[in-house]
């Protein structure tokens, strides 16, 4: 939750939440049980349905998930689709385009992180991941598009 405990109506500042995810990630790298229970919290921050997402919080959650992919490969593999969704700017539903406009910083971090995991053989090219990279190669942010093209071209 983004509310301060014990203080109704007061939101936790984004900078505190961003740092909290980094700290949580450090603890998760040392404790497998904590990592197992924290994966859903981390993935939830990246989910397209999150209202008013914060790029710093999302970037840190993404980076922590990437670190957990390296440390606990089989455990974090389940959340690869959520990580891959960070390559896209916005999502489509049957009714309309959602209000999610992912930050270019988050998309750039997603390209860099996923390409690093691919190069180190922690994850494999699968249908959805490949398609997300194709979409990223046509991103409106030139830097994201260029990075995605370089990954696709080897």
Tens digit of pLDDT for each residue in 102-154? 788 999 999 999 999 999 999 988 878 999 999 999 999 999 999 999 999 98
Tell me the whole-structure pTM to 2 decimals: 0.84
CB 135 within 8 A of CB 87: yes
Residue with tokens 């090219």: 125
Checking if the pLDDT of 39 tops 50, the result is yes
DSSP annotation of 89 reads S
The residues facing 3 across adjacent strands are 11
Q: What is the pLDDT of residues 74-107, one digit of tens each?
A: 887 889 999 999 998 764 444 433 434 578 899 9
- 60 Cβ contact list (under 8 Å, min separation 6): 18, 19, 21, 22, 25
Q: Other CB atoms closer than 10 Å to residue 42's CB: what's the count?
A: 24
Higher-pLDDT residue of 91 and 31 is 31
């Amino acid at each position: 939750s983004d509310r301060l405990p014990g203080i109704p109506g007061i939101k936790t500042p984004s900078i505190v939440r961003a740092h909290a995810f980094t700290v949580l990630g450090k603890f998760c790298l040392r404790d497998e049980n904590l990592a197992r229970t924290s994966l859903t919290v981390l993935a939830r921050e990246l989910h397209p349905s999150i209202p008013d997402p914060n790029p710093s919080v999302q970037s840190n959650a993404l980076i922590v998930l990437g670190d957990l992919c390296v440390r606990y490969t089989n455990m974090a593999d389940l959340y690869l689709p959520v990580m891959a969704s960070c390559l896209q700017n916005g999502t489509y539903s049957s009714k309309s385009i959602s209000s999610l406009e992912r930050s270019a910083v988050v998309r750039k971090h997603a390209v860099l992180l996923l390409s690093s995991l691919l190069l180190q053989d922690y994850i494999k090219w699968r249908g959805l991941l490949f398609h997300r990279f194709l979409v990223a190669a046509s991103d409106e942010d030139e830097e994201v598009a260029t990075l995605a093209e370089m990954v696709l071209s080897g």
